[in-house]
Structure 1
Amino acid sequence: MENFLDYDGVTNRLSQQGVKVDAAEIHGILCGMMAGGMSITDQKWLEALSDTTNSGDPFNQEAEQLLTHLFNQTGQQLLEAEFALQLMLPDDKAPINDRGAALISWVHGFMLGFGLYQQDLMQCSDDVREALQDFADIARMEEPMSDDEESERALDEVIEYVKISALLCYSELGQSLLEDQPGKPSVH
């Protein structure tokens, strides 16, 4: 299996396995679950993903392997410093409206995944609550974009904002590997 998964490859392979959502939404859900506080060693993520994207049906072996690879890649990117997270979106050669639609799918997915693990937004910082409100606004964007430099810049800025906001949520609520170790002493 290739080391780094990309939007087209994952979307096509999921489609071949009968999974009806694109790579952007799946990646958004995974990021949202981790940013919402799911333990990276939690094995229930696959079940949550099948419930939300596959009508509760288990994934076949090939889809499960692909999703596990994507899960591990995503977890690794979130744990790395220097903003290693790459949103799973079509590349810059894709039409701008396809990239915009994929970003909206990613944000929908993130909010869904985040909500599975974080229901109490009052415990979140103002920054996280503001980012989630902005995500809700982004998710409602429907305007087709012009294919010009100004729109390209605007889309790039929104993508960068979404990435930084996802990292903010993860840094505040996500589990580090240190917190994830079984048998660690608990502090009460």
Structure 2
Amino acid sequence: MSSETHAQPELPDFDLIANLMVAEGVHVVSPSELHGLFSGHLAAGARLEPAVLLQGACDLMDVEALKHENSKILLLDLYQQSLAMLEAPELIFELCVADEDQSLAQRAESLGQWCQGFLSGFGLYGKHTDKTLSREAKEALADLNQIAQIVAGVEEDDGSENDLMEVEEYVRMVVLMLFAECNKAEPPADNNSPQTTVH
């Protein structure tokens, strides 16, 4: 196999985003929910301008505006890397959720928050009520809604560990399926204005 010709997209670290939120005075939202929101936008077919994206993140985090320039850069990177992962043919998309260092209960809660964020982002574009959505996609969204109700209190054992990993993998595949269904190439619309640059 030849050496890779381009770097694989990679999500910013969960803890890095958590630190950003602390620096911005955010206490009500987790990095999981924020990444879920961005992923929901993208899966629904939305492509947000940087200013709109950052405003949506501020709304979710319940802050007027981001105080630090590096916060904006990190959030835009999270969005761009997520899009690159969703578009990659190798199905490398990842969920930004709490890692193995955290307790099983925290990781389960983190996955639930990710699903909540995803459903919010996806729902903003009315896609969940879209008549053109396949039955399979609608069932998958209903499943995500169930998973979003996950609450802390999971038993710490190998069985639960495996269950959580299976659920996480299922969520990952659902997102890729929804992205594929809602991001089919369409005839150019009149909103294909040139990409604006970030200042």
Specify the TM-score bucket, using the shorter chain as the normaliser.
0.7 to 0.9
| Equivalent residue number for residue 48 of structure 1 | 56
Write the distance in 1 (CA, Å) between the matches of 2:76 and 2:111.
22
Structure 1 spans left out of the alignment, 5+ residues:
none
> Equivalents in 2 of 1:140, 1:87: separation in Å?
17
Among candidates 65, 86, 98, match of residue 78 of structure 1: 86
Aligned to 2:16: 9
Percent of matched pairs sharing the same residue: 28
> Structure 1 residue 47: deviation in Å?
2.0
After alignment, is 61-70 or 130-139 more displaced? 61-70
Which one of the candidate residues 51, 71, 81 is aligned to 1:63? 71
The offset of 1:122, in angstroms, is: 2.1
Following TM superposition, where does structure 1 have runs of at least 4 consecutive aligned residues deviating by more than 6 angstroms?
A: 178-181
Query: Given residue 88 of structure 2, which amino acid in structure 1 is its aligned partner?
Result: E
Cα RMSD (Å) of the superposition? 2.5
Residue equivalent to 2:177? 168
TM-score of the two chains, using structure 2 as the length reference: 0.81
Q: Offset of 1:4 from its aligned partner?
A: 4.3
Alignment of 1:1-188 (within 5 A): 4-20=11-27, 21-39=29-47, 44-55=52-63, 57-60=64-67, 61-119=69-127, 120-142=129-151, 144-174=153-183, 182=192
Which stretch shifts more, 138-147 or 27-36? 138-147
Cα pair 2:44 2:125 within 8 Å, conserved: yes
Stretch of structure 1 that moved more, 128-137 or 62-71: 62-71
* Structure 2: 5+ residue stretches without partners: 1-9, 195-199
User: In structure 1, what residue type is equivalent to 2:65?
Assistant: P
* TM-score, normalised by the number of residues in structure 1: 0.85
**Residue identity opposite 1:102 in structure 2:** S
Report how many residues are paired.
181
Task: Report if the CA contact (8 A) 1:26-1:106 is conserved.
Answer: yes
Shift of residue 59 of structure 1?
1.9
